A and B are shown apart, each in its own frame.
Chain A
Amino acid sequence: MSKDVDCQVFGDQLDALVKGTLPEEGMRQLRLHAESCPECAMQLRVQEHLALPSLEELEARVPEALLASMWSRVEERVKGEARVEIRPRFGWIIPTLAAATLILFFSTGFLFHELGRSRDREAIMAQQVVEQQRWLSELELGPSADPVARTAALAGRNPWLRALSRQEIISVQGLRTLLERMPGDRIVMTRGQLDATVRNRTLPLPPPLREVLRGIEDREGARARDLLRALDEMELSPELTFPTTDLIRILS
């Protein structure tokens, strides 16, 4: 008989079984199922346990002594809480403290933000110093002891010009050495500088050099190897010296 009822049906009918609202035969079959199914039997036991006493029965059984003392107990605790509240004349303290805390919080946040930005700037400057050092080493110039002063002094100028500006005169051999230390494809004159130099007749430019410069067709400008080639073609004496100001004028 218990095979007629499965666990799903038992679960669906459990409430009706506990309340006793099912026909006699239905109740009998459900109980038979419970006898053969420990899971369903436990569910029935739980429901029968929880169903009694009902909430209404419990309400009727609440001891009157508990109810009689309830208000006085609640009143005592509520008034006790009211007594420990902050007095109104000190009520301004809490909003003031809250505002001060907020201001402190936001100013600390701002300071940390600014500190972070300063660190970023410092990192960029440090990177620039490293880059400058690398250029200087390429040009065989010793780095200054004060990296900040050096960075400030060299800012905005290319290493080629800086190298030249540190000496008043330079020999052809010195100029060649400088150019040979650079990577051959390093741009030493931009296209704009190159065109302006070739067009400007007032510049004290040796004619063979002007011809070499005019022959450079690179869109980006003159590279170190181009200038080396120009020096070769001019066949100048390596000891020949000339003021660096002329060169700087051309290259600036």
Chain B
Amino acid sequence: MDERELKALAIAAQRGDEAGFRTLVEGLSRTLIAMAYRYVGDWEWARDLTQDTWVRVHRNLARWDPHRPFTAWLYAIHRNGCRDHLRRPWIRREVTPGDPAVHELQAPAPENPETELERREFQERILAASDALSPAQKEVFLRVDVEQGDQQEVARAMGIRFGTLRTTLHFARKRVAAALREMEGNA
């Protein structure tokens, strides 16, 4: 579905068309779950966060301005949900690679559980290190590096020049690397 079709469905959903809302949920959940997985590294959490996002979207659909892209609004809500989740580490699910819950979901089993665990821990450290960034640097770093967003599109979505984004990203990466080195030095 392209942006025009998504917008038409969102407008219909805004007017109370449940079928339109359902089509949106079924069409975009895969991307949202994948996006959330990049933050939390756990399929079940990614599913729960995506579900929360859709409930929030349904609740606030009347506030969406149809003159603006629906996906940009949706991703912003989803991104905020994922970041809020990272700020609440005490509610993290205790799932380790090889956990039966993961197998039940039929996700591909990790080839090497230890490597997978290391990957997940490193991912958590990266996200923790991003807390040292300024708000602008963090926004750019999360959108470009964590979510692997296209740099031109991110610059456009944030309303900044591409050169500004590159400079901000450069400093953000340096600060994250420095914070990680410090963490590893203290470990």
Contacts and interface: CB of A to CB of B under 8 A. Distances in A.
B80 interface: no
Contact of A42 (B46, B47, B180): B180
Contacts of B122: 49
Contact of B34 (A14, A40, A59, A73): A59
Contacts of A47: 145, 173
Given A50-B148, A61-B108, A63-B107, A70 B25 contact: yes
B59 A81 contact: yes
A contact face: mostly helix, strand, loop, or mixed:
helix
B123 A14 contact: no
Interface string A65-83: 1110111011101100100
A66 B119 CA distance: 23
Contacts of B123: 49
B contact face: mostly helix, strand, loop, or mixed:
helix
B25 A66 contact: no
B106 interface: yes
A16 interface: no
Nearest to B129: A46
A39 B174 contact: yes
B76 interface: no
B148 A51 contact: yes
Nearest to A55: B148
Contacts of B59: 81
Interface in B1-51: 22, 25-26, 29-31, 33-35, 37-38, 43-44, 46-47, 50-51
A62 interface: yes
Interface in B122-138: 122-123, 126
A43 B146 CA distance: 13
B178 interface: yes
Contacts of A40: 177
A120 B65 CA distance: 51
Contacts of A116: none
Contact of B177 (A39, A58, A71, A74): A39
B175 to A, nearest CB: 10
Interface string A15-46: 00000000000000000000000111011001
In this complex, the member of B55, B59, B123 whose beta carbon has the largest number of chain A beta carbons within 10 angstroms is: B55
A74 B181 contact: no
A74 B148 CA distance: 27
Interface of A: 11-12, 14, 38-40, 42-43, 46-47, 49-51, 54-55, 58-59, 61-67, 69-71, 73-75, 77-78, 81
9 contacts: A38-B181, A50-B145, A61-B34, A61-B107, A66-B29, A70-B25, A74-B51, A74-B54, A81-B58
**Cβ-closest 5 pairs across A and B:** A58-B34, A42-B177, A63-B105, A59-B34, A66-B47
